[in-house]
Structure 1
Amino acid sequence: MLNIQSLDVYRGSTHVLHDISLQIGRGESVALIGANGAGKTSTLRTISGLLSPRGGTITYRPSPDADPLALHNMKTEDIVAAGVSHCPEGRGVFSQLSVLENLNIGAFLRNDNEGIKRDLDQILTLFPILAERRGQAAGSLSGGEQMMLAVGRALMSRPKLLMLDEPSLGLAPLIVEQIFKLLQEVNETGVTILLVEQNAVMALEFADRAYVIETGRVVMEGPSNELANDDNVRKAYLGG
């Protein structure tokens, strides 16, 4: 579904991604793990078109019979319209707007009113707390509720690939477990997930496969259960 080859990205004069290559199959859940500043967020931002690569390619195939799209040559809004949705670090909800208004913003590029209504109903069923708080200002929600809102808003664009950046950041352990359970349900509906997460234990429990990024380079990759049992990964990211 997504094929990244030899990606090189700079932020200003800083070389942040070095020859990154990774692949994601349709319906998979894939995690990127690594320390702060390793290049995980930059990878997602480049896929979304928010950063422009100096070299390499990002090829995306929305459906098995679709022609591949060169995301590295596309604008962000066209990437979203093609079915790639990005839930950013820090959640990024519009705090003064209501829960319902935030969710509807996720469908901004759509014009199928009946489909939007069906998706909204499904999301409010998936996240019942959002249904209860639909008229509340998003800024008045707890951190966990804002994370659910950010995921729900991303789903309103009807993505085929959902990218999440640090969904557990700043949340209590019980809320983190709840968020990951909901993400599992989203993945089971057929949405492919690419997850950036510093909580390597949760990420490897959740994902089918994972890549380890260090200083802008992929240094390891494989099935999550194999990486979770690798001595180097355990020492560096899983507390020994």
Structure 2
Amino acid sequence: MKKKNEYNAYWRNWFRASNIPQNLWGKKLKKEVLNLKFADSEVKFEDIYSVILDAWKNDENYGIFFVGKKGNGKTLTAVTIMKKLLFELEKEDRKKIGFIDLSNMLLEYKQSWNGSFEQKAEIAAKLQKIKKIPILVIDEFFRHYADWQHETIDLLLKYRDSQSYITIITSNNSMSEIVKKINSDEDEIISILGSYDSVEFLGKDRRIHSNSRLKSKIEGKDVSGKN
């Protein structure tokens, strides 16, 4: 039997391998976040998690978009889902979970860009690896968006949409703000995001803006706790 410190070290290695930000390794969702409130319905964190887990077990494509102002719990909720998956999935499946701050990564590449063949190859290899992570959290989506990023984001989302992958996106930008930045409401990025379940984080309140799996699950739930 592992001692407590050995167990913690074991899971820290998995958190590191999944690229979870170190400042979130030990953080937990508060009770008011675990009991999320949605418009006229009530849903627990477990409902969101179970939809994601079911999609994974059934080899289905699934995307969910967490949107809201900074500090409202979007990233912590996404990371909590990641950690729960790490704890519950088999070892081989744990290797298929990852976290990326795409906006910062692309900005760093631009700032250090020298145009060399080696750098181009390095960036291409990194993006190829990221797009093939079966369960991926994309944090701070569109935070530093500029036109030169469009092709990369478009290819990433289109590829993931064609696979049986799970994509969790967090963003401070609403869909209408993303449409404004892209300057088109018919762009494929908007189309793909529009197919995702969307949860708006408003402090202690959450609102669902979709008619797909998550909403169906909530509407089919007796919030009184009776069957």
TM-score, normalised relative to structure 1: 0.47
- Report which structure shows greater RCO (CA 8 Å, sep ≥6): 2
- Name the one with the larger strand percent: 1
- Name the one with the larger helix percent: 2
TM-score, normalised relative to structure 2: 0.49
